[in-house]
Chain A
Amino acid sequence: MTAPAGSLLAAERLRKAYGPTLALDGAEFSIHPGEVVAVMGPSGSGKSTLLHCLAGIVTPDSGTITYDGRELSAMSDARRSALRRSEFGFVFQFGQLVPELTCVENVALPLRLNGTPRKEAERAALTWMERLEVDDLRRKRPGEVSGGQGQRVAVARSLVTGPRVLFADEPTGALDSLNGERVMELLTDAARSTNAAVVLVTHEARVAAYSDREIVVRDGRSRDMERVV
């Protein structure tokens, strides 16, 4: 199977083993710009590994990953890091905000890693914090804000570089349903408005309901439900 035409990020026949455990065993994936795809499946099925491979954090043992016409697995670590800095955004379940930095500094961090001057980076960060309704937290540190607020700060940070692909790994996992839904609403709205693709790893149906379609990962193999039906 080849990547569907027009896909921004596509993976074929991915295999990845951690020691004796086979995390991915021939997984496939593709996503178009502006699309939100939920990756579902039981825990331990390889969802997170698939996300890490797609984001170039982990290199698969075999298989190809194509991003925007370029072969991701052929890139050097430095190139992939640079790609992650400039074209990808990340939201994780927890533990991702630097506890010592203030919220606005956390949001500005990816820009600063790209070499944007501090003032400018923080101005851009503030714009995104306003969109995610957390601009009043700018001077606070992550330890002083609630989980939902922290997660919105994290979403702001993932979007601040204007990424083309947003990777979200259980972004609402640590939140109650009201906060979780609010975060999902803001995240998908923001992504759609910038035409970013969102790879959303979740095991919650109500979170997955914010996606356009879902794929299911089971025992390291993926299943694209849209094509099956």
Chain B
Amino acid sequence: MSIGHTLLGLLESGPRHGYDLKRAFDEKFGHDRPLHYGQVYSTMSRLLKNGLVVVDGIEAGGGPERKRYAITDAGITDVAQWLATPEKPEPYLQSTLYTKVVLALLTHRDAADILDTQRSEHLRSMRILTDRKRKGDLADQLICDHALFHLEADLRWLELTAARLDKLREAVAAQ
């Protein structure tokens, strides 16, 4: 999961302090693993260096947590690109995909597109596996089937998410 893209996405709705960013991330995505402050500072400084965010202002009292960040145009483009690029189909993608979907909803992008794109990517892999399975021996078939079933599980989760996008949108907006 790309923390940088996630924080960038969170900034799209308006400038925030580093402390706010950590709290928002923890609430929405970090259910079991809260972000360390250090992770936030190092990520933000990398983004700052790459020109994706700027420092919008520093409140009195000093300290790194008092810096307020804002996203740049380059930053917005970066988020859009990241969302539109399907993940390489592999097991245990859900946390990344989930983040992407929520971010898309938060930033008023079309979450269904993300799902369709991802499905297409998955199918591409599945076609290759299916083709190999058809041409291979029994061992090949069993190995391919294992992969296919995993991919299918992801896809089914995708379909389910897509079917629940409206509910998710409400939930995300409420937070």
Contact = CB atoms under 8 A, between A and B. Distances in A.
Q: Do chains A and B touch in the complex (CB under 8 A)?
A: yes
B117 A208 contact: no
B162 A205 contact: no
A52 interface: no
Contact of A185 (B112, B116, B134): B134
A218 B111 CA distance: 13
A128 to B, nearest CB: 20
Contacts of A211: 127
Interface string B115-136: 0110110110011011000100
A42 B162 contact: yes
B126 A229 contact: no
B46 interface: no
A209 B116 contact: no
B159 interface: yes
A225 B148 CA distance: 20
Given A42-B159, A42-B162, A214-B123, A206 B152 contact: yes
A78 interface: no
Interface residues of B, number: 20
A224 to B, nearest CB: 10
B163 A225 contact: no
Contacts of A218: 112, 116
Contacts of A214: 119-120, 123
Interface string A20-61: 000000000000000000101010000000000000000000
B123 A208 contact: yes
Nearest to B126: A209
A85 interface: no
A124 interface: no
Interface string A192-229: 00000000000111101111101010100001010011
B116 A223 contact: yes
Contacts of B163: 42
Contacts of A223: 116
A216 B152 contact: no
B28 interface: no
Contacts of A228: 116-117, 120
A205 B123 CA distance: 7
Given A42-B159, A206-B126, A229 B148 contact: no
A229 B134 CA distance: 26
B83 interface: no
B117 A209 contact: no
Interface string A124-145: 0000000000000000000000
Given A228-B116, A229-B117, 14 more contacts: A42-B163, A205-B122, A205-B123, A205-B151, A205-B155, A206-B152, A208-B123, A216-B119, A218-B112, A223-B116, A225-B116, A225-B117, A225-B119, A225-B123
Interface of B: 112, 116-117, 119-120, 122-123, 126-127, 129-130, 134, 148, 151-152, 155-156, 159, 162-163
5 contacts: A205-B123, A210-B130, A223-B116, A225-B116, A228-B117
